[in-house]
Structure 1
Amino acid sequence: MDKTGHFDLCADVFGGLGRRCGASEAGRGHPRKGGRRSRPRRTAGVSVAYEPPVGEGVGMVARTGPFWDGVEGRAPIPPAAATLGFEFIDVDIDNGTIEVAFTGTEDFVNPAGNVLGAFLAAMLYDTVGPALLATLGPDQFQSTAELKVNFLRPVRPGRIIGKGRVVHRNGDLAFLEGTLADSEGATIATASATARVIPLDQAATQP
């Protein structure tokens, strides 16, 4: 974590390795020299709707909880995320944004040879959810109440980049959005979601 409260971690989290490295260059998984992103974390004058709750995000030296334990290798990555080839790239907890990547394999394709929409929806689910999870405390979790997906164009197997954002949070209710892009940067699907922040010990009984 740097002096701005921004985390630059990248994921080689499979098998619980939790490798730390610089954030990827242009979202392609190649760290720049010195481990810094190729673009600034903030743009002056831009208004952001999301504000982290008091005591969360800003000034935190280290974070724990289901999301951070998986990213930093203290816990194994969930099997569903591992199936999708989940890779953590970068997060900005102050602005409630996250960047991740997935691997669309030949096992995911439909008869036309494109990645099946259901797998893209699952990738969006695992994009918007972590955007919120990254901002929560160690004893909190999130339950997705609604997920709406728009499929914009087909995509062949390969690397897929997910970007998620906490648009607004009002108490325990959070509104999220996410996008998926192919290796050329073309947007292939978008999603909006509504989620509730719940106690971690209730996660097993929630949708």
Structure 2
Amino acid sequence: MSGRSGPFWDAVEGRSPLPRAAATLGLEFLDADVENGTIELAFTATDDFTNPSGNVLGAFLAAMLYDTVGPALLATLRPDQFQSTLELKASFLRPVRPGRIFGRGRVVHRDGDVAHLEASLLDADEAIIATATATARIIDLDRAAAAP
């Protein structure tokens, strides 16, 4: 993936820090297939993410799903583009304990400046623990900066 640039790739390749929310989730970049619009990530759910019964709160899982669908699209964009999530629908399939959680995301369809995305979170045994679909708008950073 070397040689790519833009906000996403600059963070992945260490030229800029990860966004603080992604760092809080323990986001780790594993792989991306830019041509096919897929990405693989890992997160580290800590005990700080749990409810009184010891399971990871759905809000943290939703944040991990959000940080999977967004980068699936971001990895495919030009350096002068970013994305804004318009809608995210999450489904939680089973309880999750703290530990390593894997995210797989993909661009399902892209039409102009709108993209439809999906993601899954998996545990260490590759059991799906949560899924999401999302819609995002692609933003031209130069145009957004020039807007009044």
Higher RCO structure, 1 or 2 (CA under 8 Å, sep 6+): 2
Instruction: Give the TM-score taking structure 2 as reference length.
Output: 0.95
Secondary structure at 2:90's aligned position in 1? strand
Structure in which a larger fraction of residues adopt helix? 2
After TM superposition, what 4+ stretches of structure 1 lie above 3 angstroms from structure 2?
A: none
The answer to which structure has the higher strand fraction is 2
One-letter code of the match for 2:93? L
CA apart distance, 1:148: 0.1
AA partner of residue 69 (structure 1): D
Deviations 1:112-146 (A, max 9, x none): 10000000000000000000000000000000000
Aligned to 1:48: none
CA drift of 1:63 comes to 1.1
Aligned match of 2:27: 86
Aligned: 1:168 with 2:109: yes
Q: Which runs of 5+ in 2 are unaligned?
A: none
State the match for 2:40 in structure 1: 99
Per-residue CA deviation, residues 58-92 of structure 1 (Å, 9 max, x unaligned), is xxx72110000000111011000000000000000
Q: Number of matched residues?
A: 145
- Identical columns (%): 73
With 149-158 and 192-201 compared, the bigger mean Cα shift is at 192-201
Rg larger in structure: 1
Structure 1: gaps of 5 or more residues: 1-6, 8-60
**AA matched with 2:136:** A
Q: Is 2:132 the partner of 1:191?
A: yes
The equivalent residue for 1:150 is: 91
SS in structure 2 of the partner of residue 129 of structure 1: helix
Question: 2:141 and 2:13 mapped to 1: Cα distance?
Answer: 19
Q: Using structure 1 for the length normalisation, give the TM-score.
A: 0.68
